[in-house]
Amino acid sequence: MTRRTKILIRPGVCLLFLMVSLSPADEIVLIHQTTGERLAGLNAIRAGGYDFISLADFAQTLDLPYTQNTLLKTFQIKSRKTIHILALNPFIRVDEEIRQMPVSVLYLNGRFYAPVLFLLPCIQDALPFPLAYHPERQEMAVSTYHAQVQGLTIEDKQNGVLIRLRLSESVPLSNIYTSESNGWFYVDVYAGEIENAAALQIEGKSSIVTQTMKVQLSKDTARFGFRLNRTIKEKNIRLQEQPFEIIISLRTLEQVPANLLAELTREREKWKIDLVIIDPGHGGKDPGTIGVSGYYEKHLTLAIAKELKAELERQLKIKVLLTRDADVFVPLQERTQFANRKNGKLFISLHVDSNPNKNLHGHTVYFMGPAKTDEARRVAQYENSVIEYEDSKKKYAGLSDAAFILAANASNSFNKESQDFADLVDKQLSHLPRAHSIGVRQAGFYVLYGASMPNLLIETGFASNRQDEKRLKDKATQRAIAKAITQGVREFKERYEMVN
């Protein structure tokens, strides 16, 4: 966005050709508007019927920072805005705005002189105080405020706070500036010497403004500070006369209600991954799949589970419980019930795959959901078939179809998280030497049904594949798998645990 450039040309005033007739003794007197007190004499010259004031004197006397370049013949005053003045030129740039005086700035003996009558209206908004020129008396009057603080009222409103600062004298709105820093809201009154800081006592109670302060920043600026315990969303300032009041309304962000805070704490607790439930598949009378060289899935899953427990505890200092730590039979439903009862934060069910195609190898990470492929459905059906060993098969009656998935998904509010968790674990397992990822899949597993935590089922490899079976019974591979899953848990924990 470009700034609008405005050229102000006063109608009816022609550019004058000036006959410079110097009157070196001339000076313009700076007086105080209210008291009439003489403050200073400023070097000036008279030319073409106008008074030209020395810009250096002007800036120095009024304590305005300035720079001049006698080579480029430029003069710059930095105040509320930056004023750029060029010798022998009627144009003045105030920030990005070009303004025009009817006569040019003079340059004599290395000094800049500006026609004071035209200069002041051109730069008034860039100055911190009002200045008026009285040509008949060759006087420049400066107005400053000597206000007294008469009171401060702070009222909490529905969605913010209302601050009323009562002063003994009025100050134009253009002289009031606000800023925010480190929880403080500041109101700066330019051209104001404001006395009686002791009077800055809050009338009324506020739970939002916790502290106030008043400081005279310079002889021209008084600062009022308000410390807020909330974030300001919107501010509005207006003035009121008789009595003069600066009225500041601050809309603040709503404070989090206590019940929501409690809810957030509960939510944080929910995601604090401090207990992982590992479920070694099968066990006891249920051997699971039987490998090419006769290894039982139930033994491999328990061995990996024990490695995983050790890694999680050692690396992440997480408490770990196993649904079984011996060769015993545990019904599928009891495994998730155990996890829920213990308030586990993650549920990892470990298994070993099998397929009539002996060439199939690699790992698959499953999360609960409707099977998208026949293979996923086949694996779920196999793992679910364990219920044949269970005494009370009717627990699952009618659940082995779409209704089961629907019920499972409805009861499992951690579907998205489970999928994320599955992705992270799959990525880590894929990094293992000679790894082959079949991918992340979803299927309906009874063992995951009803788990009230992110959960997944890992088919760590194929017992039906000679190489996979050999690797899976190898202690080093079991540990490598455990480490990879641990890394997945670490990443999931970093992603989901809420920090304060």
Stretch that binds Zn ion, among 26-34, 169-177, 202-210, 283-291 (CB under 5 A): 283-291
Query: CA distances (Å), 275 to each of 229, 237, 324, 375, 390, in order?
Result: 37, 54, 16, 32, 28
- Closer residue to Zn ion in complex, CB, 214/351: 351
The backbone region for 160, taken as left when phi is positive above 0, alpha when psi lies in -120 to 50, beta otherwise, is: left
Count H helices and E strands in the chain, helices first.
10, 27
Q: What angle do CA 346, 347, 349 make, to 5 degrees?
A: 150
96 is written with which tokens?
């990005």
280 makes contact with Zn ion (CB under 5 A): no
CB-nearer residue toward Zn ion: 138 or 355: 355
Query: Which x/- pattern over 433-462 shows residues binding Zn ion (rule: CB under 5 A)?
Result: ------------------------------
Shortest separation between residue 389's beta carbon and Zn ion, angstroms = 12
Write each residue from 342 to 361 as x if it is in contact with Zn ion (CB under 5 A), else as -, in one continuous string.
---------x----------
* Closer to Zn ion by Cβ: residue 288 or 450: 288
283 part of the interface to Zn ion, by CB under 5 A: no
CB half-sphere exposure, 268, CA atoms < 13 A: 9
Q: Which residue reads 């020395």 in tokens?
A: 54
- Of positions 281, 291, 454, 461, contacts Zn ion by CB under 5 A: 281
DSSP letter for 499, please: P
Non-local CB neighbours of 147 within 8 Å, separated by 6+ positions:
167, 168, 169, 171, 189, 192, 193, 194, 195, 244
Segment interacting with Zn ion (CB under 5 A) among 55-63, 116-124, 284-292, 462-470: 284-292
φ, ψ dihedrals at 204, nearest 5°: 90, 165
Are residues 128 and 222 in contact, defined by beta-carbon separation less than 8 angstroms? no
Q: Which is nearer to Zn ion, 279 or 420 (CB)?
A: 279
Structure tokens at 355: 């397929």
Q: How long is the chain?
A: 500
Least Å distance between CB 277 and Zn ion? 16
Tell me, rounded to whole angstroms, the distance of Cα 373 from its chain centroid. 43
Least CB distance to Zn ion at residue 335 (A): 12
Cα distances (Å, whole numbers) of residue 309 to 100, 422, 433, 455, 467? 81, 18, 22, 16, 25
- As a whole number of angstroms, the distance between CA 408 and CA 396 comes to 12
CB under 5 A: which stretch of 70-78, 127-135, 281-289, 354-362 binds Zn ion? 281-289
Minimum separation from the CB atom of position 349 to Zn ion (A):
8
Contact between 288 and Zn ion by CB under 5 A: the answer reads yes
Residue with smallest beta-carbon separation from Zn ion: 351
Nearest distance, CB of residue 263 and Zn ion, angstroms: 38
Q: Are 327 and 314 in contact (CB under 8 A)?
A: no
Cβ closer to Zn ion: 245 or 383?
383
Smallest distance from the beta carbon of 386 to Zn ion, in angstroms? Answer: 7
Q: How far, in Å, CA of 427 to CA of 434, rounded?
A: 14
Distance CA 425, CA 484 (A): 7
Q: Give me the least distance between CB of 416 and Zn ion, in Å please.
A: 25
Query: Per-residue x/- mask for Zn ion, residues 355 to 394, rule CB under 5 A?
Result: ----------------------------x-----------
Rounded Cα distance between 313 and 316, Å, is 6
- Pick the closer one to Zn ion by CB: 192 or 291: 291
Site string for Zn ion, 127-146 (x = CB under 5 A): --------------------
Nearest approach, Cβ of residue 330 and Zn ion (Å)? 13
| Tokens found for residue 310 | 């050790």
Among the listed ranges 218-226, 275-283, 417-425, 426-434, the one in contact with Zn ion (CB under 5 A) is 275-283
Which residue ranges make up the site for Zn ion (CB under 5 A)?
281, 288, 351, 383
